[in-house]
Amino acid sequence: MRIVIDPQAGPCPGVRRALKMAEENLSKQSELVALGPVIHNQREMNRLVEEGLQTISQESAEDAEDIGHLANRKLLIRTHGITKQLRKKLDAANVQLIDATCSIVRRLQQLVQKHHEQGHQIVIVGKAGHPEVTGLLGYCDNRGIVIESESDLDRIDRSRKVFLLAQTTVDQAKFLHIREKLFSRHPDMIAMNTTCAQINRRHEQMSRFAASVDVVLFVGGKNSSNTAVLHNVCRQANPRSYRIESLADLDSTWLQASDTVGITGGASTPLWQLQQVEDYLEKLAQLG
């Protein structure tokens, strides 16, 4: 059995930066509070919890009493960002913010605010309730429209000029399809393809990697939408693609002694988890 770890695997730069900020602050003090999971990977979150990380939900942070408990404590804002309204509340409560908002997301927040102030109707192709989308809506007074599918297009006011953008992790093909449909209704629409360029490239890389091996073991958190999308990319390129969260999910009957096994993961899968699978397979191969 030959085992290959995808050379392009590992968290995206934004997530790596957030993890580094969390680890650096935990190394200096015994605790740190994060506003929601820093990464959609439960095993990695468990590791950070053992180092002293605590998490609270955005709903809790919106509550005045809970914000009071955070006074003079350090609060990590994850890559998705937060609404400007919540940021003002936290600042007023003397919460020490460690801002790990992705630089791309921060730029989108500024664009949403700019076009909202210019009177444009903000339309976001994304998932309602996703923390990035929630944060973006906060920059247009929560008056934006979230488009999850073509059936949502009728919610857009045809009498108003539209500014269209995408949640960064949305599939680019989906965004382009929605954009094409909207242009027929709003020819003067301003549209920006704000899907993450790195994620788009990752889809192409993932497809090539999956096709280059006999079997793919895709390691990722069960609650990560990015993991689900990328695993589907693998399956389209290689039907023998299996998704696992830990070694407990791995079924040895998926593998044959003559196989080249590729190990990869999503944007929320740290490299140590891929290396753990590699170590396990090497021991399995030695046992014959």
**Which residues share a beta bridge with 163?**
122, 190
Q: Is 27 left (phi over 0), alpha (psi -120 to 50) or beta?
A: alpha
SS3 196: coil
CB neighbour list of residue 63: distance below 8 Å, 6 or more residues apart: none
* Residue 173: burial class (beta carbons within 10 Å; 0-12, 13-18, 19+): exposed
What positions carry a catalytic annotation?
132
Looking up tokens 């998490």, which residue turns up? 55
- Asked whether 101 and 79 are in contact (CB, 8 A), the reply is yes
Return d(Cα 286, Cα 280) in angstroms, integer: 10
What are the beta bridge partners of residue 62? none
Rounded distance, CA 94 to CA 72, Å?
6
Q: What DSSP line would sit under 93-139, residue for residue? A: TT-EEEE---HHHHHHHHHHHHHHHTTPEEEEES-TT-HHHHHHHGG
Task: Collect all residues with Cβ–Cβ distance below 8 Å to 155 and sequence separation of at least 6.
Answer: 145, 147
| Sign of the C-alpha dihedral computed for residues 235, 226, 261 and 212 taken in this order | positive
Alpha carbon of residue 155 to chain centroid: 26
